[in-house]
Amino acid sequence: MENEQKLIMLPGPTNVSERVMKAMLRPVINHRGDSFRELYKGILGKTQHLFQTQGSTIVFSSSGTGGVEAAVWNIIRPGDAAVVPVFGEFSGRLAETVEGAGGHALQVKSDFGKVPSLDQLREAMDSLGKFKALFLVHNETSTGVAAPYVREACKMARDHGAFAVVDAISSLGGYAIPVDDWGVDMCITGSQKCIAAPPGLALVSVSDRVKDFLKSSPPQTRYFDIPRYLEYGARGETPFTPALPLFYALDEALKELLEEGLTKRVQRHDAMSALLYDGLAAIGLKPVAEKSVRSKTVVASYYPEGVDDAMFRKLMSHDSGIVVAGGFGPFAGKVFRVGCMGQVNENFVNRTLKAVKDTLGSAKTS
């Protein structure tokens, strides 16, 4: 049944605790009143812990894609050059967003399942000499590949005088990305992934370098105008009407994260992804990602020959009550993807592995 509670093993949205869901039932309040100011200031303080920053943070009422668009449109001006490693669907979209903002995206490409090397990034940066920003997708949700060199790539960009922007939508909280220590000027994540809140909010960290730049070069966007959000945020408000029930849920999910501890949450993601990879290998399934760049939060595996993708996922949902994702782009029909994030635990992983093993034979086309 459509309303039946299933185990959501998607690469987002993911499972949300009852405690977080109940938080959304709190009363609607005035978003220009003291109660909201207290709520939002508390959220911003908790997000600083998540990003490991003493700097500014923002919450947009938007999907993670909105957060990425905000980063691009606040930094890129017509004619600006940017370096964008492209190794999957979402990094490709990021490059397109740079072009849409009037910039030039120098794409550093690799085969899907791999990532461009640091040497390739260095060559691209040196070839430009001067460029505005590096836009790096940390965790490519479409392929289950994670770039292993966030810190090093950000340092290279800064050494060229460029901004370092990291899309960590499907990784932050499952990975630790200390933005201050690593020199990340902007980092973006989404509420519905490792934070384990409902979808609909984008969280962004903003360095002092970006804030200084925006003082002399205001962005040509209204809804994603970061200086406006920072101005309002200083008094505990958002410039535009926030998605209030989602803010309640985010606050509760961040409380859960702090209670567990960021270090322990990252360790749990490490352990559960290892269990999932080992279990899928025991079934005879091959991951898309090379071992050195396998994601800890999104596991993409090739189907054995003869398995029907749509039938497999339908049977997983109907018979086992477990929801997984298919592939898209060049992987459509060839790959299924499992989210290993948020509330994931040993029971979730073992249930998923059993269901995959039981379902593969039933989904054979011949």
Note whether residue 1 is domain-resident. Answer: no
Confidence of residue 1 (pLDDT cuts 50, 70, 90): very low
- Distance CA(70)–CA(345), nearest Å, equals 33
Model pTM score: 0.96
Structural domain boundaries enclosing 246: 18-259
- Digit-coded pLDDT (tens) for 106-135: 999 999 899 999 999 999 999 999 999 999
Confidence of residue 363 (pLDDT cuts 50, 70, 90): confident
Q: What is the CATH number of the domain that holds 210?
A: 3.40.640.10
Q: How far is CA 334 from CA 78, 130, 145, 287, 300, in A?
A: 39, 41, 16, 11, 10
Residues 228 and 275 in one domain: no
The answer to whether the beta carbons of residues 21 and 249 sit under 8 Å apart is: yes
**What does the block give as tokens for 187?**
């980092």
The answer to whether the beta carbons of residues 168 and 189 sit under 8 Å apart is: yes
Note whether residue 366 is domain-resident. Answer: no
Residues 128 and 255 in one domain: yes
Choosing from 229, 259, 289, the residue where a domain stops is 259
Residues 279 and 215 in one domain: no
**What does the block give as tokens for 178?**
């200390």
Choosing from 212, 242, 259, the residue where a domain stops is 259
- Digit-coded pLDDT (tens) for 298-353: 999 999 999 999 999 999 999 999 999 999 888 999 999 999 999 999 999 999 99
The region of weakest confidence among 13-17, 84-88, 170-174, 329-333 is: 329-333
Choosing from 259, 282, 300, the residue where a domain stops is 259
- What residues form DSSP beta bridges with 336? 301, 326
Give me the mean pLDDT over the 4-17 stretch.
94
pLDDT at 365 over 80: no
**What does the block give as tokens for 97?**
């967003």
Residues 211 and 323 in one domain: no
**What does the block give as tokens for 259?**
């209670």
pLDDT of residue 2: 52
The answer to whether the beta carbons of residues 197 and 243 sit under 8 Å apart is: no
Residues 309 and 222 in one domain: no
What's the DSSP call for residue 176?
-
Residues 299 and 346 in one domain: yes
Percent of residues, the chain, with pLDDT higher than 90: 96
**More confident position, 274 or 365:** 274
- Distance CA(204)–CA(258), nearest Å, equals 18
Residues 252 and 284 in one domain: no
- Residue type for position 34: D
- Digit-coded pLDDT (tens) for 43-73: 999 999 999 999 999 999 999 999 999 999 9
Residues 154 and 206 in one domain: yes
Residues 301 and 351 in one domain: yes
Residues 162 and 53 in one domain: yes
Residues 199 and 295 in one domain: no
Note whether residue 365 is domain-resident. Answer: no
Q: What is the largest CA-CA distance in the chain?
A: 64
pLDDT of residue 176: 98
Q: Strands across the sheet with 335-339, in order? A: 298-302, 335-339, 325-326
Note whether residue 280 is domain-resident. Answer: yes
Note whether residue 220 is domain-resident. Answer: yes
Note whether residue 192 is domain-resident. Answer: yes
Q: What is the CATH number of the domain that holds 297?
A: 3.90.1150.10
Percent of residues, the chain, with pLDDT higher than 70: 99
Give the CA count within 13 Å in the CB-facing half-sphere of 342.
31
- Nearest Cα to Cα of residue 246 among 18, 13, 25: 25
- Nearest Cα to Cα of residue 357 among 271, 250, 268, 285: 285
**What does the block give as tokens for 168?**
């960590």
Average pLDDT, the chain: 96
Q: Name the E strands within the chain.
A: 7-8, 56-60, 81-86, 104-109, 133-137, 139-140, 145-146, 163-167, 186-190, 202-206, 298-302, 322-323, 325-326, 335-339
Note whether residue 320 is domain-resident. Answer: yes
Q: How many domains does the chain have?
A: 2
Note whether residue 117 is domain-resident. Answer: yes
Residues 80 and 212 in one domain: yes
